[in-house]
């Protein structure tokens, strides 16, 4: 005869199995469709009902946090490798290339790195930490004269938004081509030989925040959390 003590462990195993099926399916669907992926499609690929999905993950943020649980580690490792590089330009370019490579293979990660997820402080913190690393690498390269002095973090971020918007789709058509266009974009930041005057001002922190809203409207942390500087 089956007892309650027999049933409970089986239910726990079933719940854990369904949770992992949903994470695996969401990882696949988000990679293909980005952060606005269909939750119905995620449930379908996991082979479970929508009720099971919402029971395991009551909100999108809960599901996305499970999918991207290791993303902070990936970004942190890329930052560590960049900070170990002596040449400031190489350190700056290497970090940007690594982050773009992550995004080339994953549309959901690309969306997250562009806009963050304000309702999920854990995920939004990853994007903000990446911006902090970029600022450190940019400051270092400018102090050494490797990057022109009229470049601001928002200039770099806007370039990355443009790259990350296109790169996952381009990767499905012409794998690796994004490296060519990233190299062209990065050359625009170099100080040596630059003669073009930047007549238009850079975006402000507030404008960058509003730009991010158009990709994935956040409704959470105050925009000042990004720690952006205003420009002279």
Over residues 18-56, the pLDDT tens digits come to 999 999 999 999 988 888 889 999 999 999 999 999 999
CA–CA separation, 31 and 51 (whole Å)? 23
80-88 contact pairs (CB < 8 A, 24+): 82/133, 82/137, 83/136, 83/137, 87/146, 88/137, 88/140, 88/141, 88/143, 88/144, 88/146
17 or 119, which is more confident: 17
Whether 219 has a pLDDT exceeding 50, the answer reads no
Across 83-187, where does the E strand assignment appear? none
Chain centroid to Cα 80, Å, comes to 17
Mean pLDDT is lowest, of 13-17, 146-150, 220-224, for 220-224
Over residues 83-92, the pLDDT tens digits come to 999 999 999 9
pTM of the model: 0.74
Could you tell me how many helices (H) and strands (E) the chain has, helices first?
Answer: 11, 0
Domains and CATH numbers, the chain: 4-67 (1.10.10.60), 71-226 (1.10.357)
Of residues 123, 35, 120, 6, the one with CA closest to residue 75: 123
Phi-psi region of 34 (alpha: psi -120 to 50; beta: other; left: phi over 0): left
Give the torsion sign (CA, 135, 137, 139, 141): negative
């Amino acid at each position: 005869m089956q007892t309650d003590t027999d049933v409970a462990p089986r239910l726990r195993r079933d719940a854990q199995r369904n949770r992992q099926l949903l994470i695996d399916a969401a990882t696949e669907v988000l990679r293909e469709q980005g952060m606005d992926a269909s939750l119905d499609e995620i449930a379908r690929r996991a082979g479970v009902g929508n009720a099971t999905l919402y029971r395991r993950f009551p909100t999108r943020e809960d599901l996305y946090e499970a999918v991207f649980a290791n993303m902070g580690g990936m970004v942190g490792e890329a930052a560590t490798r960049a900070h170990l590089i002596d040449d400031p330009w190489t350190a700056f370019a290497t970090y940007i290339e690594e982050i773009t490579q992550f995004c080339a293979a994953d549309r959901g990660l690309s969306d997250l790195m562009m806009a963050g997820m304000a309702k999920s402080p854990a995920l939004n913190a990853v994007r903000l930490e990446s911006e902090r690393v970029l600022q450190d690498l940019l400051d270092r390269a400018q102090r050494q004269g490797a990057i022109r002095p009229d470049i601001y973090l928002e200039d770099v971020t806007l370039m990355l938004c443009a790259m990350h918007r296109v790169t996952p789709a381009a990767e499905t058509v012409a794998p690796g081509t994004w490296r060519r266009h990233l190299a062209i974009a990065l050359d625009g930041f170099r100080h040596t030989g630059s003669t073009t005057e930047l007549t238009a001002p850079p975006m402000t922190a507030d404008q960058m925040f509003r730009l991010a809203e158009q990709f994935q409207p956040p409704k959470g942390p105050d925009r000042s959390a990004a720690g952006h500087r205003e420009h002279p």
